[in-house]
Amino acid sequence: MSAWVDAFPLLGHVDWENNRNKVAAIGSGVLFFGAVWLMIDTSVSYTPTGHWSNAYFLLTLAGTVAMFMINSVSNNQVTGQAMEESILGTKGARLWMMVAFFLSFASIVASLWIMFAEFVLVQGNIPNWPGLVIFFHSLFIFFASLLYKFGRSEE
């Protein structure tokens, strides 16, 4: 056990290996829910003041599509250890993962761009919180997809 687990006696009794898939799924769901909740809450709060555009929800769409793309390919297909070949094979699975990660990183870069262009570098009394929410939203969806993809163990 790690040293940080020893500080919490209740965590030492949890069988992490047998519950790995459950913990990864719950953690990923909490991150995804938190991201979407932040986005909806900020949208409701800042739309009447004019500091929010509903076009920012395209980042939610791009991040969610990337999350599904990342998790639709098994690790065995990417490494070439799958028992049955798909239509495109290992190269197709790797290309699919590359496009999915490209879309996910593009979502993060776009959120940074929006944050700085619309909220940070603007002169005047503009709130910074919507820009931070846009960035953390994309980051939480990215971490949720990574946790769900690589946190689980496959049989």
Neighbours of 103 (CB within 10 A): 16
Q: Is the pLDDT of residue 122 over 90?
A: no
Q: Is the pLDDT of residue 53 over 90?
A: no
Number of domains in the chain: 1
Per-residue pLDDT band for 1 (boundaries 50, 70, 90) equals very low
* Residue 10 confidence (pLDDT): 65
- Measured between alpha carbons, how far is 23 from 15 in angstroms, rounded to an integer? 11
Question: Is 64 contained in some domain?
Answer: yes
Question: Is 82 contained in some domain?
Answer: yes
Average pLDDT in the chain: 85
Question: Is 116 contained in some domain?
Answer: yes
Question: Is 97 contained in some domain?
Answer: yes
> In this predicted model, what pLDDT tens digit does every residue of 134-144 receive, in sequence order?
999 999 999 99
Question: Is 58 contained in some domain?
Answer: yes
Give the global pTM: 0.83
The full DSSP string for 74-137 is -HHHHHT--SS--SSHHHHHHHHHHHHHHHHHHHHHHHHHHIIIIIIS--SS--SHHHHHHHHH
Contact 59, 134 (CB under 8 A): yes
Q: Is the pLDDT of residue 17 over 80?
A: no
Question: Is 84 contained in some domain?
Answer: yes
> In this predicted model, what pLDDT tens digit does every residue of 97-110 receive, in sequence order?
999 999 999 999 99
Question: Is 3 contained in some domain?
Answer: no
Per-residue pLDDT band for 83 (boundaries 50, 70, 90) equals low
What's the mean pLDDT in 69-93?
79
Question: Is 123 contained in some domain?
Answer: yes
* Residue 62 confidence (pLDDT): 93
Q: Is the pLDDT of residue 37 over 50?
A: yes
- Give the structural domain span for 124: 15-150
Neighbours of 42 (CB within 10 A): 21
